[in-house]
Amino acid sequence: MSTPFQSLGASFTDVTRRLGLQTTSRPQLLPSHDQRQSFTGFEDILSAYLPSELVTEIKRAFFYAEQAHYGQARRTGEPYVTHPLAVATVLARMHMDHESIMAALLHDVIEDTGVTKEDIRTQFGEEVADLVDGVSKLTQVDFDSAEQKQAENFQKMALAMARDIRVILVKLADRLHNMRTLGALSPEAKKRIANETLDIYAPIATRLGMNEVRMEFEDLGLRTLYPMRARRLEAARETAGGRRKQLIEQISEQLEQALAGEEIEAEIAGREKHLYSIYSKMREKRKSFSEIMDIFAFRIVCEDVDSCYRTLGIVHSLYKPVPGEFKDYIAIPKANGYQSLHTILKGMHGVPIEIQIRTRDMEDMANNGIAAHWLYKSHQDNINIPQMRAREWVQGLLEMQQTAGNSLEFIESVKVDLFPDEVYVFTPKGAIMELPKGACGVDFAYAVHTDVGNRCVACRINNQLAPLSESLESGVTVEIVTSPAGRPTPSWLNFAVTARARSQIRHFLKQQHHEDSVDLGQKLLEKALTALHPDDIVSVESQKLLISEHYPKSTFDEILTDIALGNQLPQVVAANLLGQAGASLENDTSALEIKGTEGYVLVYAKCCCPLPGDPIEGFLSPDRGLVVHRETCRNLSDLREQTERLMPLRWDDQIEGVYPVAIRIESANKRGMIATLATKLSAIGLNIERISTQDESVHFSSIIIELQLNSRVHLARVMKRVRVMEGVRKVVRCSRR
């Protein structure tokens, strides 16, 4: 009887020639007896759902991989090809398409052998080559750290996922077999791989609805990181299982009888909690093992959706439902497409019973998610919900990658986005949107559209005006209030939780910082050029030509940004451009106008808190930009020796906005004084940023209040009101903490 490989003998020469391998003995290239047995089982799985011509293509890919990895062994001592064969078997058990399985067989050849992407494209086509390349790690690049290496490789894979979602399925199968075979690695490598799996790949499996893969990732990760805890939990679970068996059988029998009485066909099975779930709940809820295992879980699989809802009514009439513990994920599926009815009941003797009710298709989706009923090439209308949601998520990854500053920022954004719990909120038109637990108005705004997020100023939750930072609860209706003058602020990063919102906020702030820097740098450079060349204005076009001539390694915007950030002195750049190096600008007394719209590159010094109306002067600080001080500031007097960095400034006549300032109030040390002050200041429309106190003596205390005011006149009015309050001895302006 011929082996599966003998029928492919004609391709020996071609494969060895393409790989550049010298082989004279054909038998030594055949797999071992155990390997043949493994492939035979693999072939049986394939033949059960794929046509013979596609199985033959997969055989050819296996033979190619076996040839490419010839002579290589895993740390376990097994031939290396056993790993890609195991990865392909994982996908075959999910009934994945033949191209995914071929890519799984070939997924390490680019990384570990002399085979190139072009070789694979020639042999197996464009799609298989792209899948293999998407899974392959970056091996020709030197990284500064293991974290950067992980981030860069994940970013590469994410880009490949955006082109073909099957890339992540091959990677998950690859990681699954690696986790199953960690035994030969060092303890450090085991922990690193296990942590990476729990941090990234298990949540991705959850996000894609692949429950079985996720559970195995988590259990294997627990056994690797905490082997003793895992063994003890497993032993305790087995012991508890014996005691629980009789009660589970009784509940199952009652459920079967109740359903049979209503002529509903369904399968009932007790659900066993996996180790990691038990461990997580014990840690998060601070409960003992016995408390976690007190809940009896069952799954009821029905024929259709109508039977699911009828079954729900039957079990609720059989046992008392626990208020607030019913969730309808059939009507409102989870973000990964998961659908089921969840309810918790009080059974006999008050025993809690957790029941999940779903159809057979929903059961398949719950276990395999995106890989269930794979229809990659089929019509869009036939694509299942997890696949559709997965593609939407991957498109979101691509958008995050484009706005992220670097790969480390990108991977952190991805981790933030992989939340297992969701809240479901409604738009004013009744559309449902799912967001991570803890999401706020800003997250909702960016989920609607980036422009809505960038212009939002407030939100209405159930028609009640609310701050953007307020957390959203399931079931509420959210409306975003926008303004043409609205713009993101760095403080939004303190409460935004979705990766999309956070990445878009960062992107806007970076872009705004760049634009502000260029604008301020332009003003500073033109001021310096005018001082050196007062008779003629140097146009922007001329400035660009001069900079390209004198600073060939930098762009025009880069020079302007360096000037704004204080890394280049404007008078030095101007002198170089005009060929007047060393020229003095001490006679330049013209003041630069401050309009209050300069953005993040203009810093108002905390030591003196300048307000419109105060005489001001600027200091061009390296990396910080132009720092605005009051002329009387003590810190500014210490900087006067650096005359080249000092800049005369004045407030624009039409300046608007609010500015931070602090006042120190000496008052009687009596109960309720701070509350009285806060109420008084809030009543006149002031925004209090911070309050701190310091006891001066038994009878008097010092209260420092940081406010937002619009001018020196405004400050004088506020101080006058505070001085006349009962118990206040003295009010003075001071520096911010």
Return the active site residues. 111-112
Q: What are phi and psi of 321, to 5 degrees?
A: -70, 145
Enumerate residues 6+ apart whose C-beta is below 8 A from 638.
none
Q: Which residue(s) pair with 152 in the sheet?
A: none
CA distances from 431 to 326, 340, 383, 568, 621 (A): 22, 20, 21, 52, 50
Report the candidate in 608, 710, 590, 605 with the shortest Cα–Cα distance to residue 650.
590
- Cβ atoms within 10 Å of 671's Cβ, excluding its own: 7
Q: Distance between CA 664 and CA 733 in Å, rounded?
A: 6
The residue type of 283 is R
SS3 assignment, position 321? strand
Question: Which residues, in sequence order, are bridge partners of residue 297?
Answer: 271, 354
Task: Give the end-to-end CA distance of the chain in Å, rounded to a whole number.
Answer: 86
Structure tokens at 683: 């009543």
Task: Indicate the burial class of 324 (C-beta count within 10 angstroms; 0-12, 13-18, 19 or more).
Answer: exposed
Residue 111 CB neighbour total at 10 angstroms: 14
Name the token pair of 434. Answer: 């799912």
Instruction: Report the alpha-carbon distance of residue 98 to residue 92 in Å, rounded.
Output: 9
What is the longest distance spanned by two Cα atoms in the chain?
A: 106
Q: From 423, 416, 455, select the one nearest 439 (Cα to Cα).
A: 423
User: What six digits make up the tokens of 540?
Assistant: 């922007």
User: CA 22, 25, 27, 32 torsion: positive or negative?
Assistant: negative
Q: Are the C-beta atoms of 289 and 345 separated by less than 8 Å?
A: no
Q: How many residues does the chain have?
A: 737
CA distances from 24 to 16, 71, 112, 423 (A): 10, 14, 23, 64
Query: Cα(601)–Cα(513) distance, rounded to whole angstroms?
Result: 7
- Residues 127, 101 contacting (CB under 8 angstroms): no
CA–CA distance, 510 with 278 (Å, rounded to integer): 43
Phi, psi of 488 (to 5 degrees): -65, 150
User: Which of these, 618, 616, 614, lies nearest to 627 by C-alpha position?
Assistant: 618
State both tokens at 24. Answer: 């004279």
Q: Report the C-alpha gap between 729 and 711 in whole angstroms.
A: 24
The answer to whether 538 and 574 have CB atoms below 8 angstroms apart is no
Tokens at residue 118, please?
A: 């072009």
3-class state of residue 333 by DSSP = coil
Q: Is the dihedral of CA 16, 21, 24, 29 positive or negative?
A: negative
Alpha-carbon torsion 257, 258, 263, 265, what sign?
A: negative
Number of H helices, E strands in the chain: 29, 20
Question: Residue 124's beta-bridge partner residues?
Answer: none
Token pair for 136:
């392959």
Burial group, residue 139, by CB count within 10 angstroms (0-12, 13-18, 19+) = exposed
Contact of 371 with 96, CB cutoff 8 Å: yes
What's the rounded Cα separation, in Å, for the pair 638 and 626? Answer: 16
Q: Cβ of 282: how many Cβ atoms within 10 Å?
A: 16
